[in-house]
């Protein structure tokens, strides 16, 4: 029985339900106003499930080169991550020359990418990978706007030309940042829609990933508005940092629990080829203080519960076995990539316990221990629309351990900042 989805443009209640032997309302929260761009998908002919891949920014920033990207692509293949589903290789900011060509077209930085972007795309495609690039929706990219990189090569006013350039380079994915202090909503809609239309006009199915939050102070437009008719995936928070949580508020860098809390009310926006983007994975990414292995498992678990894109950001050429095991866990990836494309939400408004519907009538429950000591956690079967201890059991996606319901509850021991992901049989 499919989960009912509310449509339309007025405010509505999001009632996240999971289906077992009965239908459950796991929590009702206000859904943001109507979907910008209409009810159709932003770009047609893309896979229905969330994209998986790798992005250069979190590890390399502006220190990105053609050689580095090729090395990361080769590691994506040799590590088995490509075969696990990580296919997109996205070159973030700083790949472009600081000036456009004489005809106004974008061109690669000749020192960083001497072979050009089309050649890099060919290299990736020959290895069974997909090619992604970055641009800005304003006159500058984000590093140019911040004054840390020269030039003014954003795509504003060049949307049609740049979309054609990307299509000619056989680009498969465009990451598109706002990169401006202009917080006018109409200006944002106009700019992001112009590039969407440019992509549509090329006829090439380029996955369109937007971030309306970058540069905007005091608000998070990606959270406030549903951009699902404009973009394939929309950043709904500010930039992630490899921390459990931060004290910077919604306009600053976000830790894992900050992002989980921010996305919880937005599940109704998710559907095939339309996703909330909680930013990249920081599994295996160096940081200060950084994440424990348990915290990295929690990020991977919760991104899967959200039906979110999985874009790794670590150095793929020097991964620990723990990093590989987290990124490549088949059971967790299968949850993220479930064809139903239904995002989970908190059970009984508890931020530590989420449920997500998968398949025809399956349920996945996550138990996250946010406290500073190990503890036994449980979820009432009645909160999942289930009855009967003897008929309810679940398997942890991380360990393969089976849990049997007892006393009307499913229970598990959960370590500090760790997450158990229970797929109910």
Positions marked active-site: 177, 239
Structure tokens that stand for 410 in this block: 């499913």
- The answer for residues whose C-beta is within 8 angstroms of residue 192's C-beta and 6 or more apart is 137, 176, 210, 212, 227, 230, 231
- 374 neighbors 55 (Cβ within 8 angstroms): no
* Cβ-based neighbour number of residue 358 at 10 Å: 24
- Which conformational region is residue 152 in: left (phi greater than 0), alpha (psi within -120 to 50 degrees), or beta? beta
Distance of alpha carbon 357 from alpha carbon 43, whole angstroms:
25
DSSP 59: H
Collapse the DSSP code of 25 into the 3-class scheme (helix H, G, I; strand E, B; otherwise coil) and give the result: strand
- The number of residues in the chain equals 425
User: Three-state SS across 173-217?
Assistant: EEEEECCCCCCCHHHHHHHHHHHHHHHHHHCCCCEEEEECCCCCC
Residue 108 to residue 314: CA distance in whole angstroms = 24
Please choose, from the candidates 341, 321, 344, 340, the residue with its C-alpha nearest in 3D space to the C-alpha of residue 422. Answer: 344
Cα gap 347→356, rounded to integer Å: 10
Whole-angstrom CA distances from 251 to 65, 135, 144, 240, 289 are 30, 21, 20, 11, 20
CA distances from 353 to 212, 273, 368, 400 (A): 29, 26, 6, 19
Phi, psi of 61 (to 5 degrees): 50, -130
Outline where 31-101 has alpha helix (H): 57-60, 66-78, 81-84
d(CA 389, CA 345) in angstroms, rounded, equals 24
Q: How much of the chain is helix, strand and coil, in % rounded to 5? A: 30, 25, 50
Residue 412's DSSP bridge partners are 377
Collapsing DSSP states into helix, strand and coil, what is residue 393? strand
Q: Are strands 419-424 and 362-368 parallel, antiparallel or unpaired?
A: antiparallel
Dihedral over alpha carbons 126, 55, 292, 246 (to 10 degrees): -170
């Amino acid at each position: 029985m499919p989960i009912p989805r509310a449509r339309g443009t007025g405010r509505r209640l999001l009632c996240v339900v999971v289906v077992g032997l009965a239908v459950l309302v796991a929590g009702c929260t206000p859904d943001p106003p109507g979907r910008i761009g209409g009810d159709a998908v932003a770009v047609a002919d893309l896979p229905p499930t969330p994209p998986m891949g790798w992005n250069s920014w979190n590890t390399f920033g502006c220190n990105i080169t053609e050689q580095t990207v090729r090395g990361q692509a080769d590691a994506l293949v040799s590590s088995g991550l490509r075969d696990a589903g990580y296919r997109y290789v996205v070159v973030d900011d700083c790949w472009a020359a600081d000036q456009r060509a004489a005809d106004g077209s974008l061109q690669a930085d000749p020192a960083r990418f001497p072979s050009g972007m089309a050649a890099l795309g060919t290299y990736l495609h020959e290895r069974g990978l997909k090619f992604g690039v970055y641009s800005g929706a304003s006159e500058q990219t984000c590093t140019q706007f911040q004054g840390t990189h020269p030039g003014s090569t954003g795509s504003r006013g060049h949307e049609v030309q740049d979309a054609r350039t990307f299509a000619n380079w056989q680009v498969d994915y465009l990451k598109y940042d706002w990169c401006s202090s202009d917080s006018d909503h109409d200006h944002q809609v106009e700019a992001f829609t112009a590039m969407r239309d440019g992509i549509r006009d090329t006829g090439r199915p380029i996955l369109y990933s937007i971030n309306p939050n970058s540069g905007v102070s005091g608000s998070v437009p990606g959270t406030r508005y549903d951009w699902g008719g404009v973009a394939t995936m929309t950043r709904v928070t500010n930039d992630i940092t490899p921390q459990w949580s931060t004290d910077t508020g919604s306009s600053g860098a976000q830790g894992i629990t900050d992002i989980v809390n921010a996305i919880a009310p937005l599940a109704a926006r998710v559907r095939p080829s339309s996703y909330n983007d909680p930013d990249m994975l920081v599994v295996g990414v160096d940081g200060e203080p950084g994440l424990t292995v348990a915290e990295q498992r929690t990020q991977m678990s919760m991104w899967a519960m959200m039906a979110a894109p999985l874009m790794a950001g670590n150095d793929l050429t020097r991964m620990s076995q723990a990093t590989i095991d987290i990124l490549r866990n088949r059971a967790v990836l299968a949850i993220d990539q479930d064809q139903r494309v239904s995002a989970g939400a908190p059970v009984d408004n508890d931020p530590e316990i989420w449920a997500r519907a998968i398949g025809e009538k399956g349920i996945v429950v996550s138990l996250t221990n946010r406290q500073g000591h190990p503890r036994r956690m449980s979820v009432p079967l009645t909160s999942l629309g289930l009855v009967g201890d003897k008929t309810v059991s679940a398997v942890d996606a991380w360990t393969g351990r089976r849990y049997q319901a007892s006393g009307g509850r499913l229970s598990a021991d959960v370590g500090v900042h760790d997450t158990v992901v229970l797929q109910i049989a």
